[in-house]
Amino acid sequence: MDFHLHKTGDRKKRILKTVLGIAILVLSSVLILKEGYYQYQIRQVVLPSSGLFPFIISKGEMPDQVAFHLENEGFINSSWVFLKYAERSGDANHFQAGKFYLHQNMAYPKLSETLTKAAINEISVTLQEGLTNADIDQQLVRLGLIEEGEFLECVRSCDFSDFVFLPKDPELREGFFFPDTYFVIPDQFDTETFAKRLLSTFDSKTKTIFGNADRNGWDILKMASIIEKESKDDSERPIIAGILWKRLDNGWMLGADATTRYITGKNTEPLTANDLSDPNEWNTRAVRGLPPGAICNPGLSSIWAAANPEESDFWFYLHGADGEIHYAKTSEEHAENKAEYL
């Protein structure tokens, strides 16, 4: 055999072994990195979203399809990690068909386990303080419990004759649908029954407050709804209540932008000069007195504050760009606060 050919063959073998070794090393590194990423994701402590959202597993749907839909609908950020965990844990073989109500950003193990159980029968519906009836309607729509407008139609036309405190004018029924956490069975959800639960909760939670107050309950509720929108925390509410009642009792205009925002529908957009000068009965910058009705469904702390205002020397308040509330005794002090904090 030619010695030169023998050396060439050995060199090729060595090169081949080296390339193969590098390939194996790279592949091993990739697998180690993927496994590290997988372990990091499934062990991560996460805070799920506060809301519950519907997720449907169709009959016959494969685990990889479930994982794809979970990622596509925003419940997880990696279908690959979820599917790998479900397969390793054995959960993938036990996913149940049905309608689930899930938090977004759930931990993968918890989510995988949840989908192996029968679809949840009962869910929580949390209505935050300050929601309007239209907001409640939208929240129930997002949860898949009603069609859009169904709750609002019920507010207008359902039989609420047992609730004697509810205004007969459907347009003035804001404020009575009490914000709280309610548990419902989605497949048995009935809009009228749910609305009556909110009204019953309102009655039971507020009866003592209204019964012990010096002012008319309807006026207290209107004021409470304004306080809910005009304040940021419980410590402010009694002081703001005292300022607003003092203005009302002394023939001032309330001057609460929240009432104008309610009637114009401008929740965040700047109010124009025309908005603030329009002499409609909801505009407390242009018309004296309380508005015709409540502007939202206030929480218990705002209702309590409206019924138990705190007396002070203040006539004005504003929330500054610094996130704090600033009170003033005179219009001059208020102007200075505007110049400094807005």
Q: What is the DSSP string of 117-138?
A: SPPPS-EEEE--TT--HHHHHH
The whole-number pLDDT of residue 61 equals 95
Does residue 112 or residue 4 have the better pLDDT?
Answer: 112
Q: What angle do CA 244, 245, 246 make, to 5 degrees?
A: 90
User: Average pLDDT, stretch 157-183?
Assistant: 96
Chain centre distance of CA 269: 20
pLDDT surpassing 60 at residue 187: yes
Mean pLDDT computed over every residue of the chain: 90
pLDDT surpassing 60 at residue 115: yes
- Under the banding of pLDDT at 50, 70 and 90, the label for residue 103 is confident
The whole-number pLDDT of residue 9 equals 63
Cα 79 from Cα 41, distance rounded (Å):
11
pLDDT surpassing 70 at residue 195: yes
**Among 233, 249, 260, 251, which Cα is nearest to 288's?**
251
The whole-number pLDDT of residue 101 equals 85
Q: What is the pTM of this model?
A: 0.72
The whole-number pLDDT of residue 124 equals 86
The whole-number pLDDT of residue 32 equals 62
Cα 86 from Cα 114, distance rounded (Å):
11
The whole-number pLDDT of residue 21 equals 62
User: Average pLDDT, stretch 312-332?
Assistant: 96
The whole-number pLDDT of residue 34 equals 67
pLDDT surpassing 70 at residue 1: no
User: Average pLDDT, stretch 335-341?
Assistant: 96
As given in the structure block, the two tokens for residue 76 are: 């997880």
pLDDT surpassing 60 at residue 80: yes
The whole-number pLDDT of residue 96 equals 93
Cα 14 from Cα 259, distance rounded (Å):
83
DSSP character for 55? Answer: E
The whole-number pLDDT of residue 8 equals 62
Q: Which fold has domain 53-114?
A: Dna Ligase; domain 1 (3.30.1490)
Identify the three-state secondary structure at position 110: helix
Q: Are 146 and 134 within 8 A, CB to CB?
A: no
pLDDT digits (tens, 9 = 90+) for 4-55: 555 566 677 776 776 666 667 656 555 566 666 667 677 765 666 666 788 9
pLDDT digits (tens, 9 = 90+) for 248-288: 999 999 999 999 999 999 988 999 999 999 999 999 999 99
With residue 111 as reference, give the H or E element that holds it: helix 108-114
User: Average pLDDT, stretch 321-327?
Assistant: 95
Cα 285 from Cα 17, distance rounded (Å):
85
The domain limits of the chain are: 1-43, 53-114, 123-206, 214-341
Taking the CA of residue 246 as centre, how many other CA atoms within 13 Å lie in the half-sphere pointing to its CB?
16
Residue 13, exposed/middle/buried by CB under 10 A (0-12, 13-18, 19+)?
Answer: exposed
Of all residues in the chain, the percent with pLDDT exceeding 70 is 87
pLDDT surpassing 60 at residue 104: yes
As given in the structure block, the two tokens for residue 15 are: 């090169």
Residue 332, exposed/middle/buried by CB under 10 A (0-12, 13-18, 19+)?
Answer: exposed
The whole-number pLDDT of residue 185 equals 87
pLDDT surpassing 60 at residue 308: yes
